[in-house]
Amino acid sequence: MAKDGTSRGGARIGAGQKKKPLADKILEGNPGRRKLMVMEFTDTADLEGQNMPPPRDYLAAKQKNGKTTLAVEIYEKTWRWLKERRCDHLIPAQLIEQYAQSVARWIQCEECITEFGFLAKHPTTGNAIPSPYVAMSQSFMKQANNLWYQIYQVVRENCASDYKGATPHDDAMERLLTARRGG
Q: How many CB atoms lie within 10 A of CB 169?
A: 19
Q: Identify whether 7 is part of a domain.
A: no
Fill in the amino acid letter for 79.
W
Q: Tens digit of pLDDT per residue, the chain (183 long)?
A: 677 877 777 777 777 777 777 777 777 887 777 787 766 656 555 545 567 788 888 898 888 888 888 999 999 999 999 988 888 888 999 999 999 999 999 999 999 999 999 999 999 999 999 999 999 999 999 999 999 999 998 888 887 666 666 777 776 666 666 656 655
Q: Identify whether 134 is part of a domain.
A: yes
Q: Identify whether 99 is part of a domain.
A: yes
Q: Identify whether 39 is part of a domain.
A: no
What is the model's pLDDT at position 97?
Answer: 95
DSSP 62: B
Q: Give the closest residue to 53 by CA, choosing from 71, 80, 32, 31.
A: 80
Q: Identify whether 79 is part of a domain.
A: yes
Q: Identify whether 110 is part of a domain.
A: yes
Residue 176 sits in which domain range? 22-31+53-182
Q: Identify whether 15 is part of a domain.
A: no
Q: Give the closest residue to 174 by CA, choosing from 107, 81, 122, 125.
A: 107
What is the model's pLDDT at position 128?
Answer: 93
Q: Identify whether 1 is part of a domain.
A: no
